Amino acid sequence: MREKKACTHCGQDWVKEYKRADTGQVFHMCPECESVWLDKNCIDDATELYLSEFMGSGDSVRDWESITLIE
């Protein structure tokens, strides 16, 4: 059972589960502001890690191509 959680950073979208294609690592992200949380139990905390920092490619289009939304 998955609980829907609104983004604590922007409040504009739900935090969803994604997977990195390169490492297979599962993480949580708000698709609206690209805030990333590695641990879903820490989503309430003000985690300040953005997709660009997490992926580190320096190219946001490539970052989005390298992750998959987990349904």
Among 10, 21, 38, 70, binds Zn ion (CB under 5 A): 10
Cα–Cα distances in angstroms (integers) from residue 32 to residues 6, 44, 48, in the given order? 11, 17, 14
How far from chain centre, in Å, is Cα 66?
A: 12
Distance CA 32, CA 51 (A): 11
Among 16, 32, 47, 52, which residue sits at the site for Zn ion (rule: CB under 5 A)?
32
Interface pick for Zn ion out of 33, 40, 47, 57 (rule CB under 5 A): 33
Nearer to Zn ion, 22 or 44 (CB): 44
Interface positions with Zn ion (CB under 5 A): 7, 9-10, 30, 32-33
